[in-house]
């Protein structure tokens, strides 16, 4: 097995079991071959990786967390998943931010961009489902924010946006349970009607047998 696809350069398995030395899929906790617990996935570095938008090398600004890589040319930023979690938690606990005057940029032509680390095409998602900020997400490595988007996401979290997302998810689950209950009730009524028709048919069949026997 190899770590990088020889055809498209996409990174494949990158966790090696320290017991049997076989490569495992990213995100696995135990070896699929010998069930030995795996060590943490190695931290990859996006420094000098090409910007997904303009291909300029990414860099870490002096004094910034090494888990945040910025393109000095277009202003986009790639944030590791665990660091973004910390940022959002701090923003939510810190409370609302003063209005910055930033306005959403006009929507450009939709273009899927590659993750700076694994080069796989990232998914476009509405951050928090209700923020209106469309970001590019690699589930394994992190999130790409175009210029200004990270500031809008932090403001969204600080204003209680994540709580709105939780409420929306909870409401969706309640509606799903309600629909399931209604479907089960309808099926029960249909089953009762079918059973009633079968009983009536059996009664008529018995009646006719009595007449013609």
* Per-residue pLDDT tens digits for 134-189: 999 998 889 999 988 988 898 888 888 877 777 777 777 777 888 888 888 888 87
Work out the average pLDDT over 99-103: 51
- What's the rounded Cα separation, in Å, for the pair 37 and 173? 35
Alpha carbons 29 and 16: distance in angstroms, whole number: 11
Written as six digits, the tokens of 96 are: 């609302």
pLDDT greater than 50 at residue 200: yes
Is residue 59 pLDDT above 60, yes or no? yes
pTM of the entire predicted model: 0.60
- The encoded tokens of residue 116 equal 């700076």
In which region does residue 11 sit, left (phi positive, over 0), alpha (psi from -120 to 50) or beta (all else)?
Answer: beta
pLDDT at residue 2, as a whole number: 46
Q: Where are the domains of the chain?
A: 1-42
Q: Looking only at Cα atoms, what is the longest distance across the chain? A: 101
Say if residue 27's pLDDT is above 60.
Answer: yes
Relative orientation angle of helices 149-158 and 81-94, to the nearest 10 degrees:
50
**Mean pLDDT taken over the chain:** 79
pLDDT in tens, 61-95: 777 788 889 998 888 999 998 889 888 888 888 76
What pLDDT is attached to residue 95? 67
The percentage of the chain sitting over the pLDDT mark of 90, rounded to a whole number, equals 17
pLDDT band per the 50, 70, 90 thresholds, residue 31: confident
């Amino acid at each position: 097995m190899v770590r990088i696809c020889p055809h498209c350069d996409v990174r494949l398995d990158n966790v090696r079991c320290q017991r049997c030395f076989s490569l495992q899929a990213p995100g696995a906790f135990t070896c699929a071959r010998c069930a030995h617990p795996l060590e943490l996935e190695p931290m990859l570095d996006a420094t000098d990786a090409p910007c997904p938008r303009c291909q300029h090398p990414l860099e870490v600004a002096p004094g910034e967390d090494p888990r945040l890589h910025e393109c000095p040319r277009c202003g986009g930023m790639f944030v590791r998943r665990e660091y973004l979690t910390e940022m959002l938690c701090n923003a939510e606990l810190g409370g609302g931010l003063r209005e910055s005057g930033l306005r959403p940029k006009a929507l450009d032509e939709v273009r899927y961009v590659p993750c700076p680390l694994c080069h796989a095409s990232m998914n476009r998602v509405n951050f928090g489902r209700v923020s209106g900020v469309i970001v590019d997400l690699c589930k394994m490595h992190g999130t790409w924010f175009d210029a200004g988007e990270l500031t809008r996401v932090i403001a969204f979290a600080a204003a209680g946006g994540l709580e709105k997302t939780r409420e929306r998810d909870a409401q969706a689950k309640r509606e799903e349970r309600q629909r399931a209950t209604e479907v089960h009730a309808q099926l029960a009524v249909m089953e009762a009607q079918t059973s009633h028709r079968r009983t009536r048919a059996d009664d008529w069949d018995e009646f006719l047998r009595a007449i013609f026997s």
